[in-house]
Amino acid sequence: MKKSEIVLGGHYSDGKEGRGHSVRKVIDEGPQYKLYSAVTDTDCIRYRVIEGRGKGREGNMTRAAFAAWAKERVD
């Protein structure tokens, strides 16, 4: 996906089927979600795992990395 397609409140899937399937919801965005201070990309998001391994867990990543992971929007 393109990082411009990743929006706050959106649900995204990794496109896998079966046990490896995962859906994440973008719950916030901003530079405060950088993984560590040396990261130069400040276009970051916070997500929650809605389905699949790690359900309920939250994490941070750059919007570009999330876009690379996401294969489709599912909401």
pLDDT tens per residue across span 27-73? 999 999 998 888 899 999 999 999 998 999 999 999 999 999 999 99
The pTM of the full predicted model, rounded to 2 decimals, is: 0.91
What's the domain count of the chain?
1
Beta bridge partners of 49: 24
Which strand (E) or helix (H) includes residue 67? helix 63-69
Tokens of 69: 């992971």
> 10 is in which domain, residue-wise?
3-73
Structure tokens at 13: 């899937």
